[in-house]
Amino acid sequence: MHIYESVIVVHPRLSDSEIGEFVEKTKKMISTDGGEILGEDKWGRRKLAYPVRKNREGYYVYLKFNAQGSVIKKMNEFYRLQEDVLRTLTVHAYEAKKQAPRKVKPKAAAKPAAPTPAVS
């Protein structure tokens, strides 16, 4: 299992209850395939950088979850069938591993360079 982060931009005409239903469907799809929801955040209505299907705004939803790679394929198919989904992006989230601090080797004393013989 891997940790993924997904941002979904849905149509701004949806009501809060419709957005909630969409998020619940997505979370249910993840959990039925053995995944686990780690975090959810509704970022709200925001202005898009450029028009998408004649829309200047979109409602942003963020999900962080732990799942198999096959779930991502199912999610993308689900998003393609939803006419209210404007854009999506799902990425593999790398967790920072704790590493022991590096030991700094003391620098050896610099040896003076040997004089070069004069060329005549």
pLDDT of 59 strictly over 80: yes
88 and 60 in contact (C-beta within 8 Å)?
A: no
State pLDDT tens for residues 69-106. 889 999 999 999 999 999 999 999 876 555 666 667 67
Pick the CATH number of 2-92 from 3.40.50.620, 3.30.70.60, 3.30.465.10, 2.40.10.410: 3.30.70.60
pLDDT attached to residue 88: 95
